[in-house]
Amino acid sequence: MDARDCLKMLREIRDVVFSTADQNGMPHARIIDVMLVEDEKLYFCTARGKDFYQELIQNGNLAVTGLNREWQTVRLTGKAVRLDDQKHWIDRIFAENPSMNDVYPGESRYILDPFCIASGKLEFFDLGKSPITRYYFAFGGENISEHGFYITDGCIGCGTCAENCPQQCIESGEPYMIQQDHCLHCGLCAENCPTESIVRRGNA
């Protein structure tokens, strides 16, 4: 599993949720088609008259989420950039997605503008197995962010965290250690730690 696999999964799901914020900071979520994925880049399009288009032009920051039939989720955060050579990209998108001809027949397709997400951060989250599995990736020069919780050296080895973990993904040791790939990020371990030795990653 890597960034390419995550982007490919979004393309296979195709109809995924794109979330933006308007000029007042209000969130908006829409089902948008992933039209192309290649060279670690994701391509989509939208019509210039849509509110979604205006939000992309004003800001460009996006959160994209897709869920497949196996209860596997891919979440992408990145910035969308409108592409030059509009007709080339729209023709390419329509060639790869022929059903678009029924929605925008003939020359009406050129009311659409193409966009690309060329860099961003990805999360793969698999709820279809036990314990759950999650991985983080970055592409296009982005760095992977830390998520979840971390057990500090203040740990006294009492085992309370391991006893409370829903996924049983905390190993005994000095200090105890969270298996990050299987952590739900629920925070139950931190809430029950008698010495407050469990903190959010990135804040330790």
Q: Each residue of 49-87: pLDDT tens digit?
A: 999 999 999 999 999 999 999 999 999 999 999 999 999
Express each pLDDT in 181-201 by its tens digit: 999 999 999 999 999 999 998
Residue 161 three-state SS: helix
Task: State which residues of the chain have pLDDT below 50.
Answer: 204
Q: How far apart are CA 172 and CA 157, in angstroms?
A: 7
CB atoms within 10 A of CB 25: 6
Please report the pLDDT score of residue 202 as a whole number. Answer: 67
Which strand (E) or helix (H) includes residue 182? none
Q: Spell out a b/e string for 101-115, using b for 16 or more CB atoms within 10 Å of the CB, else e.
A: eeebeeeebeebbbb
- Please give the model's pTM, rounded to 2 decimal places: 0.90
